[in-house]
Structure 1
Amino acid sequence: MAKGKIGGLGDYLREQRLASKLSLRQLADLAGVSNPYLSQIERGLRKPSADVLQQIAKALRISSEQLYVQAGILDPREGLEGTTETAILGDPRLTERQKQSLLDVYTSFLAMNAGEGTARPPETPTAEAPSTERE
């Protein structure tokens, strides 16, 4: 996960809020977060959870993935990358800690596979069945 993009997220949120012609208070009400908390996010003082980003995205009527990229939660790579991360982050049945754990494991598997030059794990040899013939 990229770090140090909290300020970038705040600037992006402010731009989206102003483009939607919403005051800070209006967006906070629509997103279900407090006005001071949203202000801290916009000023780069707080890093919101994926759930809060999802609420803000819904209130702004933009894709939550855009906010995840701005927050450094998702890589902006094109193609199929991001769909697994998006599914994990968007699953309401998981806690924030569980989501982060799954993302960490997934990322480590991708890195391991990239190092091996393969996209799938190597086949494991199966044990041979013992012979039923008598010698």
Structure 2
Amino acid sequence: MDKVADIGRDIGAYIRQQRNNAKISLRQLSKLAGVSNPYLSQIERGVRKPSAEILQQIAKGLRISAEALYVQAGILDLPVGGPVTDAIRADTELTERQKQVLLDVYESFRRQNREAETSATEPESESQAKE
């Protein structure tokens, strides 16, 4: 039970931090997210643990990735990435669609480079095997 309470506090603190970063009041976020002011306050204080649907509404109000909130809430595992993917996901000036397109392009370049690297080393390995 303590772990659930910790997750509730963690997600609440994360939402508060994101709200403060966006310079949005609790009242403004409650309107943007379509969530009552008292309920949002309880979430931020860790008294309530929001559902995935409520997290999605809050993410939309904050203009951040719902995935980021799901990870913080323990609904999703931390996505594998690195500094580039983390930066893209954290960018508040991009829409979710733009972020996904950038991530797809970035990953396709990485995959292409891995395939080229593998192709370049394979003939070398085959010739060594013949010797």
Distance 1:9 1:72 in 2: 9
Query: Which residue in the other structure is 1:26 paired with?
Result: 28
Greater helix share, structure number: 2
Structure 1 runs (4+) deviating above 4 angstroms are none
In the TM superposition, 1:88-127 aligns within 5 A as: none
Residue of structure 1 aligned with 2:56, choices 54, 57, 67 = 54
Per-residue deviation, 1:78: 1.4
User: What does 1:35-74 correspond to in 2, within 5 Å?
Assistant: 35-74=37-76
5+ residue gaps, structure 2, are 82-131
How far, CA to CA, are the matches of 1:77 and 1:22 in structure 2? 27
TM score, norm. by length of structure 1: 0.55
Which SS does the other structure have where 1:5 is aligned? helix
User: Whole-Å Cα distance in 1 between the matches of residues 79 and 63 of structure 2?
Assistant: 22
Please state whether the residue corresponding to 2:75 is helix, strand or coil: coil
Deviates more, 1:70-79 or 1:39-48: 70-79
Deviations 1:62-107 (A, max 9, x none): 000000011111111417xxxxxxxxxxxxxxxxxxxxxxxxxxxx
- Structure 1: gaps spanning 5 or more residues: 80-135
Specify the alignment match of 1:15 in structure 2.
17
* CA RMSD across the alignment: 1.4
Equivalent-residue separation in structure 2 for 1:22 and 1:8 (angstroms): 19
Q: How many pairs align?
A: 78
Note the C-alpha offset of 1:28.
0.2
CA distance in 1, matches of 2:71, 2:40: 18
In the TM superposition, what whole-angstrom CA distance separates every residue of 1:37-80 from its partner, at most 9, and x where no partner exists? 0000000000111010000001100000000011111111417x
Measure the CA separation in 2 of the matches of 1:49 and 1:14: 17
TM-score w.r.t. the length of structure 2 is 0.57
